[in-house]
Structure 1
């Protein structure tokens, strides 16, 4: 579905991505793991058109989207849930969800809203509440719900566990798995929480200093001694509760 081919990108004279090659197949959860500053967020932002790739190309179902404007990329079925959630804090939960449907035929909104509230029942009694008054976990659910309202074919998730309590982290990853399983949603997941991310992944890759240096299935990378030493030591009990 998505093919990133030899992509370089950065900010001014600072290059953050150095010839990245990665593919996301239809219907899978593809996970990219790496330390803070490895270039993961820059990759997602480059897929969405900001910053621009300076070299290489990005294909969506064979169409070159490298130079498209961000709104044109969104209209082709890519939705981005950014790191830090970035909801509209002064707008209500319902208004935030309505913003997700700006590029979609309004006739779908009622049914899509019902679907999102089934996935995230905590939001239903808070539809009239300002987004900024929600808990961190509820804001993450709102950000994901807003993205789903746009009816994406590909969902980009950037650090969905960031700043959340372990119990909420587990709940968020259960919802990610359910979206992929029940709706055949293709998901490209960026995470520092390597244990949960690799456990959820069909395939995965490790990014170091703006380059991909290891690939495999989620299970293969979970079992890899080098990955365990670099990213997993002590992570499983903290992320998933007592062993």
Structure 2
């Protein structure tokens, strides 16, 4: 579904990614974990075309999309639910969802809306409410729902549990599993909540200062002593280890 080859990217003269190689197979959930500043968000944004890769390639379903503008990448079945949610706060819930559906055939809107509201029934109770007045958990549901309205084959999720209460975090991860298992959407997940992320993932990668430091199945990394020490078991929750 997605292949990233030798990807370099950054901001101005500052390079944040130093030759990333990952692949995401159709039907998988692949997780990226790592400390703040490791480059996880930059990787997702570079896949989406902003910032541009300075070297390397991004291949989506066999097509090189490295140089495509972001709106054309979205039309090829890739959706991004960004860090910080970034909903439209002055728009209603329904208007936010319509924005997500703006790149696909309008004939599917009713079916897609019903599918999103089945996943997030709370949004159905708040369709006319402004997005900015929702709780943090509801805004995260809206951000994911808006991404799903574009009918993606591949969904990029950036820190969906950030700032949420533990009960809401469990709900969000249950929904991600449902999206993958029942709707067949492939997921690339960036997440600092390593326990939930690795428990959910088919495969996972640890990023350290713009490089992939360790890869394996979700279960393998969950049981790796170094990962447990640094991201679980009361560790620093993202402290980098130069030996990883």
TM category (shorter chain) comes to: over 0.9
2:96 corresponding residue in structure 1:
96
1:84 corresponding residue in structure 2:
84
Q: CA deviation at 1:234?
A: 2.8
Q: CA deviation at 1:125?
A: 1.0
The correspondence of residues 149-164 of structure 1 with structure 2, limited to 5 A, is 149-164=149-164
Q: Deviations over 1:13-45 (max 9, x none)?
A: 000000000000000000000011100000000
Q: Does 1:219 align with 2:198?
A: no
1:137 corresponding residue in structure 2:
137
Q: CA deviation at 1:227?
A: 0.5
2:201 corresponding residue in structure 1:
201
Cα distance in 2 for partners of 1:105, 1:184 equals: 20
SS at match of 2:204: strand
SS at match of 2:53: coil
Cα distance in 2 for partners of 1:111, 1:135 equals: 26
1:177 corresponding residue in structure 2:
177
Q: Does 1:123 align with 2:123?
A: yes
Task: Count matched residues.
Answer: 235
1:107 corresponding residue in structure 2:
107
Q: Deviations over 1:67-115 (max 9, x none)?
A: 0000000000000000000000000000000000111010000010001
**Normalized against structure 1, the TM-score is what?**
0.96
Cα distance in 2 for partners of 1:139, 1:61 equals: 30
Q: CA deviation at 1:233?
A: 1.9
After the TM superposition, list the runs of 4 or more consecutive aligned residues in structure 1 that deviate by more than 2 angstroms.
Answer: none
Cα distance in 2 for partners of 1:98, 1:61 equals: 26
Cα distance in 2 for partners of 1:132, 1:43 equals: 27
SS at match of 2:216: strand
SS at match of 1:102: helix
Cα distance in 1 for partners of 2:208, 2:175 equals: 28
Cα distance in 2 for partners of 1:230, 1:18 equals: 22
Cα distance in 1 for partners of 2:97, 2:60 equals: 25
Q: CA deviation at 1:184?
A: 1.2
Q: Deviations over 1:171-219 (max 9, x none)?
A: 0000000110101110000011101000000000000000001000000
| RMSD (Å), alpha carbons | 0.7
The correspondence of residues 24-35 of structure 1 with structure 2, limited to 5 A, is 24-35=24-35
Q: CA deviation at 1:48?
A: 0.2
Q: CA deviation at 1:3?
A: 0.3
Cα distance in 1 for partners of 2:169, 2:38 equals: 22
Cα distance in 2 for partners of 1:77, 1:185 equals: 10
Q: Does 1:231 align with 2:226?
A: no
Cα distance in 1 for partners of 2:82, 2:16 equals: 18
